[in-house]
Structure 1
Amino acid sequence: MTISPWRGTASAVLVYLPRGPHLPGGNGLDSTILVQLLAQKLPCHVVQINYRLGNLHMYPAPVHDVLKGYDWIKEHLLPKRSISRVGRSETVGRVAVCGELIGGGLAAMLALTECRVGQPGIVAAALSSPLVDWVDFQHVLSKPAESDAMIAPLSDLRKSLFRKPEHYFDPFASPMLFLRSAGHTVPPAPPDVPTNDMDYLISLNRQDSVMIPKPSLEEESTPLKRTATRYPTPALGLRLPAFHLNAGQKSPILYGQAEEFTRRLRQAHVRQAGQVDFGRKVLTEDEIDEMNESDKQEVAQREMEAREKVELDVSHDSGLWDDSVAGKARVAKVGQWLRKVLQ
């Protein structure tokens, strides 16, 4: 964990999650420079969580690291209440999270789960081309017309970062699955893949002579209809934060994930804002047509508010926070947005 401290009095913290290993996408902006750029815009601590991810630390290890780091930040960097009461959080303050690619997916996971009503939690999330659906790659690879230089590397990366398919079907690894069904059945794990950490470490020691097979494309999953979920339900006690997403049309798969995630988040905000039945589900055009004028205006107002709470900036290039002039400008814009939300 790396902390860029704010020397004044601050009741907010920004959590930055790096983009992750072995990913294409141009010259990524050095995380130290990126944190410095954000710290210049924000009157608060900026903390980088250096989560583990690789052959020895496959999913769900990065999820555990991020959640553990987030708990540490709440305990040590947010101000304490002067008077404690039973049943009330001892700390106060506001937390924002940002990340790119794999870090963007982890940031989305944190934002969707650590936003409890009445407790200090995530109030804003800034994501750049977030990987929010690891299940999706094989579905896209099956389309011959699809051409995206990121697809094959990401699909290969998935095989190296997830020991079993059920791990990338977990919403904490693929946060899109909090908002809709996966659209695939979970394929069985290959029979020779180790099922626990100790077996996996043993297999690494003998990897020179024993090769662990990888599942073929046909074995991976069967396409199903994707359906929206009612997340978060009132019983969870969550209040969704504001989101700002960057995406570039140069990579159709990452842009497609960002666009769908934005749409699903807006639908979730509309449902969450609803006090009557039609505010708790996604309405079809026919259902809206059958409403009276007052209800139509209410739905339109909620949808407008949801668009303000979930923004999507689309560019014609990669859309990443890289070392180009456009990439640094995107980071500066994100810093300004975070400052506004955290005030």
Structure 2
Amino acid sequence: MFCPPLRQFTPLLHSRRLRLSRSLPYSSNSRASLISEQVTVDCRSNGSITLDVCRATDRADPSRIVLFLPTGPVVDHYASINDDNVIRDLSRASQATVVRVNYRLAHGYFYPTPIHDVLAGYDWVLENLAPTAEANRRTGYRPRIARLGVCGQLVGGSLATMLALTECRMGGDRIAAAALHSPIVDWLFPDPSTLNGNGATGFNALPASLLIRARQTFFRNPANWFDPLASAILFFRTPGSSILSGASDHHIPSTANANFVEDFPLDYSDASAFVPIAEAEPSTSTPSQHVVPRRRAHRVFPPQGSALRLPFTRISTSSDSILYDQSAELTKLMQRSLVRTSLKAAGMLHPDALEERDRAIAEMEAEKNAEKRVSFLVGQGKGAGLWGVPGTEWEEEVEQTGLWFKEALD
């Protein structure tokens, strides 16, 4: 049975330096200023990262914490995307402390460094900010388990998905809510000519060439694309392709005509976890190709006996985004997992458990609950619809996300 490495790296936190600073308010509006403490966290022998502990209002609930993972150096003119504005609006709407984890990527840093950095930041928050059971025991209060949120878009959305799926163990401190905006959850996309997109240009567009260039920059080895901690959608299904030795990101053949299983049947009684790639249909690719198409098959996630439970998840994207298909598929697979878990817990997966009509009703109810737990929101704006882009309308969506966090973490 597939059992992914949930924690490949446990950072050791050493001395920390705290610096209190107060940023300037917006120059053109009346939004509250961003109160921030900057913390340095050592990551064993792999250098250090900084965390920005942000509170947009003095009324923030100290027990409500959201980790924010920056957008990442994917889009052109990235410096013009103001994550500070996003954090400010998110903190104000959620009345939460927002902790930005400044993970390292590009400029000499490659995967899995950002994964390690995010885990280090998460552990620091649990140890120093979250109302954990141990801290409450020391103060004499009733023990309380920390329930945190995580938020991000693009690469930040990819890392947020990874953290949400691996740190959601029931009975302990965990990620209880995740807001993912246009996350990159599958680095195994084909060449630019086969990616969907509306051909939009301008700053708010996200052309396929940028994703290809980002993949070339972020990964030393194409084999790392297959790691579920990088391509989080692979927790739920097989890759749909395999890569041969000597592969180069400069020559990725089109898989548009590959014999993939694009629409999985909702067979909740299937307990085989997944069909291994070795047992999939033979490839029709030639030896000169580096990427070999394979049939996609489901994986059972969370693994049985792991005590993981998928958090409340809000997945959003633009209808014109080139990442729309990834977001829609992730939503579908997470909902499917919740349905199967619900039916299994109720003892309804056995063929003789219920009459056919009663079973259908039970499945419909489970699907309805799954849609509430994992929601999919599609904006109608042109281009990628990224948060924090000057001159675009994103503030209302971030405010709604903050209000969602406030409800989900209470």
Within 5 Å, give how 1:80-91 maps onto structure 2.
80-81=132-133, 82-83=136-137
Q: Which amino acid aligns with 1:309?
A: R
Structure 1 residue 261: Cα displacement: 0.6
Contact 1:167–1:173 (Cα < 8 Å) also in 2 = yes
Percent identity, aligned pairs only, is 31
Question: In the alignment, what sits opposite 1:95?
Answer: 148
Query: Structure 1 residue 177 and structure 2 residue 247: aligned?
Result: no
More displaced stretch, 98-107 vs 146-155? 146-155
User: In the alignment, is residue 37 of structure 1 matched against residue 89 of structure 2?
Assistant: yes
Query: Aligned partners of 2:137 and 2:196: how far apart in 1?
Result: 62
Residue 79 (1) aligns with residue 131 (2): yes
SS at match of 1:129: strand
Change (3 A) 1:241 1:145: closer
For residues 63-101 of structure 1, the C-alpha deviation after alignment (integer angstroms, 9 at most, x for no partner) is: 1111111111111111243337xxxxx873210000001
The residue type paired with residue 194 of structure 2 is K
Q: How does 1:139-178 map to 2 (within 5 A)?
A: 141=192, 143=194, 148=199, 150-178=207-235
Task: Tell me the number of residue pairs that the alignment of Structure 1 and Structure 2 aligns.
Answer: 305
Cα distance in 2, alignment partners of residues 169 and 21 from structure 1: 21
Q: Which residue of 2 aligns with 1:233?
A: 303
Letter aligned with residue 320 of structure 1: L
Shift of the 220–269 alpha-carbon distance from structure 1 to 2, 3 Å rule, reads same
Letter in 2 for 1:112: L
Matched, 1:261 2:330: yes
1:128 aligns with 181
The residue that corresponds to 2:317 in the other structure is: 247
Instruction: Report deviation, 1:25.
Output: 9.5
Are 1:273 and 1:279, in contact at CA under 8 Å, matched by a contact in 2?
no
Report the counterpart of residue 337 of structure 1 in structure 2.
Answer: 404
Correspondence 1:104 to 2:148: no
**One-letter code aligned to 2:313:** F
Q: Counterpart of 2:396 in structure 1: which amino acid?
A: A
Contact 1:266–1:306 (Cα < 8 Å) also in 2: yes
Partners of 2:163 and 2:146 lie apart in 1 by 16
After superposition, the Cα gap between the structure-2 partners of 1:144 and 1:129, relative to the gap in structure 1 and judged at 3 Å, is closer
Q: How far off its partner does 1:338 sit? A: 0.8
When normalised by structure 2's length, the TM-score is: 0.69
42 and 276 in structure 1: CA distance in 2 versus 1, 3 angstrom threshold:
closer
Q: Distance in 2 between matches of 1:19 and 1:92?
A: 29
Q: Residues 267 and 35 from structure 1, CA distance in 2 versus in 1: closer, same or farther, beyond 3 angstroms? A: same
Match of 2:120 in 1: 68
Instruction: Name 2:341's counterpart in structure 1.
Output: 272
The residue type paired with residue 234 of structure 1 is Q
| Alignment check: 8 A CA contact 1:11 1:92 kept | no
Matched, 1:316 2:380: yes
Q: Distance between the aligned counterparts of 1:173 and 1:145, measured in 2?
A: 21
Once the two structures are superposed, the pairs formed by residues 205-244 of structure 1 within 5 Å of their partners are 215-218=250-253, 219-244=289-314
Larger displacement relative to structure 2 (213-222 or 234-243): 213-222
Task: Using CA pairs under 8 Å that are at least 6 residues apart, name the structure with larger relative contact order, 1 or 2.
Answer: 1
User: TM-score with structure 1 length normalisation?
Assistant: 0.81
Contact 1:165 1:189 in 2 (8 A): no
CA distance in 1, matches of 2:195, 2:74: 25
Q: Could you tell me how far 1:61 is from its partner in structure 2?
A: 0.7
CA contact (8 A) 2:61 2:97 kept: no
Following the alignment from structure 1 to structure 2, what is the Cα–Cα distance between the partners of residues 145 and 96?
Answer: 31
Aligned CA-pair RMSD = 2.6
Q: Which amino acid aligns with 1:99?
A: G
Letter in 2 for 1:131: I
Q: 1:11 to 1:174 in 2, by over 3 A?
A: same
- Bigger mean CA deviation after superposition, 145-154 or 13-22: 145-154
- Residue matched to 1:2: 52
**2: CA distance between counterparts of 1:133 and 1:302?**
27
Gaps of 5+ in 1: 85-89, 191-212, 281-286
Residue by residue, what CA displacement relative to the aligned partner does 1:292-323 show, whole Å, maximum 9, x if unpaired? 11111110000000001111111222332134
Cα distance between partner residues in 2 of 1:28 and 1:244: 25
Distance 1:29 1:216 in 2: 31
Distance, in Å, in 2 between the alignment partners of 1:266 and 1:28 is 35
Letter in 2 for 1:217: I
Verify the 8 A CA contact 1:107 1:127 in the aligned structure 2.
yes
Distance 1:316 1:25, change over 3 A: farther
Q: Tell me if the contact between 2:65 and 2:149 (Cα under 8 Å) persists in the aligned partners.
A: yes
Residue identity opposite 1:166 in structure 2? A
